[in-house]
Amino acid sequence: MSWKPYCVNPPCVVKRVKPIEENNMKKLYRCKVCGYVLEGTEPPGICPACGVKGKIFEEYESPVSEKRRKMLDLHVHPVAVHLPNAFAACMAAISFFRIVGIIQDLSVFMGMLRAMVLILPFSVVFATMAGIFDGKLRFKRVSTPLLKKKLVLASLFFFLSASLFVIQVFLTLESSTYNIVVLVCSGILLGIAMTLGLIGNKLVDSKVRG
């Protein structure tokens, strides 16, 4: 605690002024072992990611602005892609189990399958828009080679999901034929999703400075 003269009208009086403590300001710290970055007033005694104990954290300066960093930390796109990927996996499983005869209750599971087919294209649109937002936020444009490849694959994903939507709404197929069509398309969708995930994994730690 320090003392500072404080004058409203003469004579002056002495008023105690509490200095700003730098230790209370939040900083970024990075684990020297695994590279995990966290924000806090002081480094923890154990890394939440790798679990290594001791003085393993060093101060870290983010290459992007605080606003961009906080928006990127929301991970909107990585979270959004879980929905269409989960739908594709469930659709493939239900149609496969129905074909091999493991699922006997046609009404319940076919209702679930048809509902997912209807929702899938909309979830793909949401995930794609989130990806475009993430790309612009991360690289300030979406015309990079890897992002172009992701957009092409996302378009193919949407085309297949929209085709299933059209087949279900406008065409009348036998149950066995419908299950086969859904199984084939879902398998292709899962392959596309895995490819997109592998590309996206390479971009997680990449971002343009500023």
Give the 3-state DSSP-derived string for the chain, with helices as H, strands as E and coil as C. Answer: CEEEEECCCCCCEEEEECCCCHHHCCEEEEECCCCCEEEECCCCCECCCCCCECCCEEECCCCCCHHHHHHHCCCHHHHHCHHHHHHHHHHHHHHHHHHHCCCCCHHHHHHHHHHHHHHHHHHHHHHHHHHHHHHHHHHCCCCCHHHHHHHHHHHHHHHHHHHHHHHHHHCCCCHHHHHHHHHHHHHHHHHHHHHHHHHHHHHCCCCCCC
Q: Are residues 118 and 170 in the same domain?
A: yes
Bond before 11 cis per omega within 30 degrees: yes
Which two tokens mark 137?
């936020």
pLDDT at 132 over 60: yes
Domain check: are 55 and 133 in the same one? no
Taking the C-alpha atoms of residue 76 and residue 132, their distance in angstroms, rounded to an integer, is 11
- Tens digit of each residue's pLDDT (9 = 90 or more) over 62-109: 888 888 888 888 899 999 999 999 999 999 998 898 888 887 666 777
Q: What pLDDT, on a 0 to 100 scale, did the predictor assign at position 13?
A: 52
Q: Which of 61, 86, 110 is the last residue of a domain?
A: 61
50 and 77 part of one domain: no
50 shares a domain with 8: yes
Query: 13 and 105 in one domain?
Result: no
Would you say residue 10 has pLDDT above 70? no
Q: What is the CATH number of the domain that holds 144?
A: 1.20.120
Same domain, yes or no, for 57 and 101? no
So what's the pLDDT on residue 2? 47
Is 210 within the bounds of a domain? no
Give a yes or no: residue 7 inside a domain. Answer: yes
CATH code of 47's domain: 2.20.28.10
Domain's final residue, options 34, 61, 88: 61
Residue 21 pLDDT greater than 90, yes or no: no
End-to-end Cα, the chain, rounded Å: 38
Highest mean pLDDT among 24-33, 36-45, 64-73, 75-84: 75-84
Cα–Cα distance for residue pair 53/201, rounded to 1 Å: 27
- Residue 128: phi and psi, rounded to 5, are -65, -45
Do 106 and 51 share a structural domain?
A: no
Measured CA to CA, the distance from residue 189 to residue 123 in angstroms comes to 13
Summarize the confidence of residues 129-153 as an average pLDDT.
94
- Say how far apart CA 140 and CA 162 lie, in whole Å: 30
Identify whether residues 169 and 130 lie together within a single domain.
yes
Claim to verify: residue 37 and residue 55 sit in the same structural domain? yes
Residues 129 and 32 in one domain: no
For residue 136, what are the domain limits?
A: 70-203
Domain shared by 117 and 172, yes or no: yes
Higher-confidence residue of 67 and 172: namely: 67
pTM: 0.78
Rounded mean pLDDT, 173-190: 90
Q: How far is CA 144 from the centre of its chain?
A: 19
Q: Are residues 78 and 46 in the same domain?
A: no
